[in-house]
Amino acid sequence: MSGSVSRFLGDSPLRVLLKLAVLSFLVGFAMHAFGWMPIDVWYALRDAALDIWRMGFDALGNFFSYFVIGAMVVVPIFILIRLLSFRR
């Protein structure tokens, strides 16, 4: 039983508990120093996910303009690289 628990945790249970305690203290200290609470971190992650979600749909609406802008950079570089490698 103990071997399967150690294999699951990646180390002995006591060492994992000690590592988690030290990490919890450091994270708690840093959060206190910045004036953060766990709920603030949750709200920040939620807001970031919502912003990425909204940006994704905006990006789909602007797909063609992104394509043209990117092609204006990529195609000349591609042609230049091909011309330089063709000369060799």
Whether 61 and 54 have beta carbons less than 8 Å apart is answered as no
Q: What pLDDT does 62 receive?
A: 74
Residues 33-78 pLDDT 10s? 999 898 988 899 899 888 878 877 666 667 777 788 888 888 888 8
- With 70 as the cut, is the pLDDT of residue 22 above it? yes
Sign of CA dihedral 58, 59, 64, 69: positive
d(CA 61, CA 55): 10
- With 70 as the cut, is the pLDDT of residue 1 above it? no
Among 7-11, 15-19, 26-30, 57-61, the least confident range: 57-61
d(CA 16, CA 7): 11
Q: Where are the domains of the chain?
A: 1-35, 37-88
Q: What angle do CA 18, 16, 39 make, to 5 degrees?
A: 80
pTM above 0.85, yes or no: no
User: How far is C-alpha 35 from the chain's CA centre?
Assistant: 23
d(CA 28, CA 74): 46
